[in-house]
Amino acid sequence: MKKLLLTGFEPFLGLPINPTEKIVKELQNKNIGQYQIQSVLLPVDFEKGPELLISCLNDIKPDAVISLGLAAGRKKITPERIAINCRDGEPDNNGVVMVDSPIYEDEPAGYFSTLPIREIVQILNENGYPANISNSAGTYLCNNIMYTLLNELNKNNLHIPAGFIHIPASHELVIEGKKNMPSWSQRDLQQAIELIIENI
Ligand code: PCA
């Protein structure tokens, strides 16, 4: 059976929950579509997050990769179109702040997702899950992980479907974190990700 590396993130920036953590834990070792899921939880850390991702790519040798991140405030599931070679913005969970910093010197400005993002949006919408392509993954850890992922695959000449999908907050996160933002049920978030995996 083919292997799909599914990554999620720990909570960050004072939020009590990251719904991507629950999804990757729930789906660990499950068979979905043509894939067996190999889940990894990444730290929100500019050094350790990308390092762990690279070692998982080398150990697991996946046939496809989907990285998940929370985009608190977004209303829809948003497959990302592009990752850029830039880190900037909020501190990571280790207190490290990046300002206008390239992820890797002398590497390309950006990489496009190799997931079928247009089809993913269509399938989600047809099944009642609001979705849109996003044209920016930001400049924080999610963009960093997407960039590292695509840069690594490119360097190793691996042509597999790989990319990043941002998801909205869960109801639980809004309630526990006392936040005022759009949210989905954790069940719908997970089912939408399962549907994506079935279709790539
Ligand atoms: N979302 C953050 C980092 C971790 C996560 O789940 C982001 O969008 O960069």
pLDDT at 60: 98
Closest CA to ligand 1's atom 2: 142
- Specify the DSSP element, H or E, that contains 117: helix 117-126
The pocket around ligand 1, CB under 6 angstroms, is made up of: 9, 12, 18, 20, 44, 69-71, 138, 140-142
Q: What local confidence, expressed as pLDDT, does residue 61 receive? A: 98
Phi-psi region of 14 (alpha: psi -120 to 50; beta: other; left: phi over 0): left
Ligand 1 centroid–CA 132 distance in Å is: 18
The reported pLDDT for the residue numbered 110 is 98
Residues of the chain with pLDDT under 50: none
Name the CATH code of domain 2-198 (choices 3.40.50.720, 3.40.630.20, 3.40.50.800, 3.30.70.20): 3.40.630.20
Task: Give the pLDDT of residue 165.
Answer: 99
Where are the chain's structural domains?
2-198
Angle at 170 between CA 163 and CA 28, to 5 degrees: 55
Task: Give distance in angstroms: CA of 65 to centre of ligand 1.
Answer: 17
Question: Would residue 142 show up in a list of annotated catalytic residues for this protein?
Answer: yes
| pLDDT in the model for residue 88 | 98
Helix axis angle, 48-60 to 141-155, nearest 10°: 40
